[in-house]
Structure 1
Amino acid sequence: MVRIVKVLRKTDVSQRLGVTTEMLNELPPYNREHDVPVRVLDDTGMIYEFKLSVRAEGALKPVFQYQEWRAFVKRRNIKAGDRIYFWEEASVAHQTEYRIALLRTFV
């Protein structure tokens, strides 16, 4: 199990999450023609369905789209500088499950 750490930037918090190459390698295959739903369980037990989106042409620039990502950000009161941990793990039903945890930065 690889845990990926990302320090969130202002645009990650206010718009959509820029998905790192490391995260993209753990996620289901992307599709340049339409968004791919990614079911994610957070560290409080809430389930979100983030939409993985990549550009149709050129550089991928993968992101989790605004709607569900922002619901997560608002619910958890996430700020720029906070860290997320993202990983893939096998669930009891032998299916792939994605997890996300938050580490707050206190200033």
Structure 2
Amino acid sequence: MEAQSTMMFSKLLTQTDIRKRLAIPSKILSSLPAFNGSHAIRIHLMYGTRMWPIDCTIRKKGYKKPVFSGGLWRGFVTGNKLNVGDRIC
């Protein structure tokens, strides 16, 4: 069975997005797998023709502020040669 993908957001990348973390819109939290009390989940991001595992984290208290960060995010950035001003969808 073929996996189905859905575009959830679009963003022009900034220096922070490239070097550290990508803040994603909190409105897509309901479309992500349940965090089940955890502050991190691993999702699979379709980019081009490849699926990339990415860690998505949220704050433990207060405003959730979801972000993609860590080594998997940096691997995605470098693997796709992303630069400031590129658009990710």
SS in structure 1 at match of 2:10: strand
Q: Mind listing any 5+ residue stretches in structure 1 that lack a counterpart?
A: 86-107
Query: Which amino acid is the alignment partner of residue 74 of structure 1?
Result: T
Matched, 1:13 2:18: yes
When the two chains are superposed, the root-mean-square deviation of aligned CA atoms in Å is: 1.9
Matched, 1:82 2:86: yes
Aligned residues: 84
Q: Structure 1 12/34 Cα, relative in aligned 2: closer, same or farther at 3 Å?
A: same
Q: TM-score, normalised by structure 1?
A: 0.67
Q: TM-score, normalised by structure 2?
A: 0.78
Question: 2:41 maps to what in 1?
Answer: 36
Bigger drift between 26-35 and 70-79 goes to 26-35
Contact between 2:26 and 2:65, CA under 8 Å: does it hold in 1? no
Q: Mind listing any 5+ residue stretches in structure 2 that lack a counterpart?
A: 1-5
Higher relative contact order (CA 8 A, sep 6+): 2
Identify the structure with the greater strand proportion. Answer: 1
Question: 1:71 maps to what in 2?
Answer: 75
Q: Structure 1 2/55 Cα, relative in aligned 2: closer, same or farther at 3 Å?
A: same
